[in-house]
Amino acid sequence: MTTQTTAHAEISTLVTRFFRALDERRFEDGSGRDYVTDDVRTVTPVGTAEGIESARHTERALGRFARTQHTATDLLVDVDAASGRATASWNALMTHVHHDSTLEQRGEGADALFTVGGVWETELRRTDDGWRFCRMSVRAIWTSGEPPLPT
């Protein structure tokens, strides 16, 4: 039986691994199945995607930067053990380092960083492989620096 404490620890680990995978650009099979369900829906400032397209959407968004660092804090988890569902939200600091080509196009004095402070809100389902995100949204609260150049 999943207790609130056990679920919180498992979901916290999932969040940490997911953010690490984002920064290391590590989605082994290209689907993100280690983190999300097959029917996941993601809503971000750069668009909405569903299912396998969510992983591709994320890879394209991250590819607009040379490097990133995502930090999560203040994780709140609410579990309905009977249904195998949970919600989780957390604050995030998301730092993005622009490609050299972006900085060259912007000229001397261009800020190398685009930083976002935001809130992630998620829904999760307990699967045979553990907790997985089935709905994810990130809402920017503030930004610093310039976003990437349009593609």
Torsion of CA 89, 72, 43, 135, to 10 degrees: -50
User: Does residue 14 fall inside a structural domain?
Assistant: yes
* pLDDT value for 52: 82
pLDDT of the chain, 151 residues: tens digit per residue: 568 789 999 999 999 999 999 999 887 666 688 899 999 999 999 899 999 888 888 888 999 999 999 999 999 999 998 999 999 999 999 999 999 999 999 999 999 999 999 999 999 999 999 999 999 999 999 999 999 988 7
pTM check: above 0.95:
no
How much is the pLDDT for 39? 95
Does residue 105 lie within any of the structural domains? yes
Domain contains 150: no
Please report which helix (H) or strand (E) contains residue 132, including its range: strand 130-144
**At 74, which CATH number?**
3.10.450.50
- Domain-embedded: residue 8: yes
pLDDT value of position 65: 96
The parent domain of residue 23 ranges over 4-144
Asked if residue 149 belongs to a domain, the reply is: no
- CA 123 – CA 136 distance, rounded (Å): 7
What pLDDT, on a 0 to 100 scale, did the predictor assign at position 25?
Answer: 87
Number of domains the chain contains: 1
CA distance 137 to 131: 17
List Cα–Cα distances, 104 to 4, 26, 44, 64, in angstroms: 50, 28, 27, 15
pLDDT value of position 46: 87
